């Protein structure tokens, strides 16, 4: 039996980075096109250990809310209700590490949930109650127990290992392209940065990149990869993503050849799925998360709670079980 070697993908990111969130369409496209031929590993950058670091740089809730508008051009949803305060990302990163130690899949789900919380709700990433709210509803994850482990020595050690690995960009392609950062000592990768490895070959795409940049690296790394074409029906894309996709992510997956992604056409098709009962639409920011019908019961309660938080500034206790 012929064993096919998977390409390792190291994904440097942070749940508090709007560039990382804005890369959603490109990353969703990679997952669709190449599926389990890519072996993903999330490495948390840990952008800030304390909110004061952001305050010292002049960050404010008002400025952040206004700034989010400029990121909407990339297609991902952003809410512009100012948060109650500026927040650091360290505790959120450690919550993801705690989930990841249970399984990589739970770590990925926690990362997605905390991105949604950061950019489409008024929840803050360094409040433990808010973290529990954001993580509640992930199938198989005990949100309260996960957040309690933020200070666990094993979680702290794994997080510090992630931070150290993320700060090894000096002299590499990411720094060469001007896509690295050096705000806190060693040169670090910015979010999102992807490193593709196959055997002893290593190719790097640092910082925010178009999907074409990733695609050409993969084509050079292994031209024998199976490259799945765009689906004929967006339901296929939703079925492949239990945690849901926003409209721009679906539009990117539906691209054919060199055609530009068409969010309007994608949304029209998604609305039709919702009308048939095959999908559910959960408002998020100026857009929505779309879930295949069979995933809706597990995920929609958390997403509904997050949507209410964005509108009301608080979590309604009944929303989490609605």
What residues does each domain of the chain span? 7-221, 234-321
**Which long-range CB contacts under 8 A does 5-8 form with residues at least 24 apart?**
5/198, 5/199, 6/36, 6/37, 6/38, 6/39, 7/34, 7/37, 7/38, 7/39, 7/196, 7/197, 7/198, 7/218, 7/221, 7/222, 7/225, 8/39, 8/41, 8/196, 8/197, 8/198
From CA 120, how far away is CA 150, in angstroms rounded?
A: 23
The length of the chain is 322
Peptide bond into 192 cis (omega under 30): yes
What tokens does 137 get? 């509803």
DSSP 81: S
pLDDT value at residue 137 = 79
pLDDT value at residue 63 = 95
pLDDT value at residue 139 = 84
Write out residues in the chain with pLDDT < 50, as ranges: 1-2, 304-322
- 234-321 shares the fold of 7-221: no
DSSP 150: G
H or E element, residue 41 = strand 38-44
How many Cα atoms are found within 13 Å in the side-chain-facing hemisphere of 293? Answer: 11
Q: Reduce the DSSP state of residue 75 to 3 states and report it.
A: coil
pLDDT value at residue 300 = 55
Q: Is 7-221 in CATH node 3.40.50.1100? A: no
H or E element, residue 289 = strand 287-292
pLDDT value at residue 307 = 42
From CA 232, how far away is CA 32, in angstroms rounded?
A: 13
Pick the CATH number of 234-321 from 3.90.1150.30, 3.40.50.150, 3.30.390.10, 1.10.10.10: 1.10.10.10
From CA 36, how far away is CA 201, in angstroms rounded?
A: 19
From CA 83, how far away is CA 183, in angstroms rounded?
A: 24
> Per-residue pLDDT tens for 15-30?
999 999 999 999 999 9
From CA 143, how far away is CA 124, in angstroms rounded?
A: 16
pLDDT value at residue 2 = 47
Place of tokens 């997050």: 306
């Amino acid at each position: 039996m012929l064993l096919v070697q998977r390409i390792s993908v190291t994904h440097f990111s942070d749940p508090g980075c709007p560039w990382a969130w804005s890369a959603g369409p490109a990353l969703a496209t990679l997952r669709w096109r190449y599926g389990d031929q890519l072996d993903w590993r999330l490495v948390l950058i840990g952008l800030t250990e304390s909110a004061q670091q952001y305050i010292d740089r002049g960050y404010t809730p008002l400025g952040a809310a206004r700034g989010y508008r400029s990121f909407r051009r990339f297609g991902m949803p952003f809410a512009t209700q100012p948060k109650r305060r500026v927040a650091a990302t360290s505790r959120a990163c450690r919550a993801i590490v705690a989930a990841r130690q249970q399984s990589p899949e739970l770590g990925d789900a926690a990362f997605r949930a905390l991105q949604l919380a950061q950019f489409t709700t008024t929840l803050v990433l360094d409040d433990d109650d808010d973290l529990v709210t954001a993580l509640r509803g992930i199938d198989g994850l005990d949100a309260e127990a996960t957040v309690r482990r933020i200070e666990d020595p094993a979680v702290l050690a794994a997080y510090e290992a992630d931070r150290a690995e993320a700060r090894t960009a000096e002299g590499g392609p990411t720094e060469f392209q001007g896509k690295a950062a050096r705000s806190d000592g060693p040169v670090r990768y910015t979010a999102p940065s992807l490193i593709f490895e196959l055997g002893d070959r290593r190719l790097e795409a640092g910082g925010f990149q178009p999907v074409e940049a990733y695609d050409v690296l993969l084509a050079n790394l292994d031209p024998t990869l199976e490259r799945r074409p765009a689906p004929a029906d967006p339901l296929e894309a939703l079925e492949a993503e239990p945690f849901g996709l926003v409209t721009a992510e679906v539009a990117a997956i539906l691209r054919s050849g060199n055609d530009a992604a068409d969010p309007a056409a994608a949304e029209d098709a998604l609305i039709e799925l919702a009308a048939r009962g095959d999908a559910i639409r959960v408002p998020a920011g100026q857009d929505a998360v779309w879930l295949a019908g069979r995933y809706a019961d597990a995920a929609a309660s958390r997403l509904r709670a997050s949507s209410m938080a964005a509108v009301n500034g608080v979590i309604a206790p009944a929303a989490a079980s609605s």
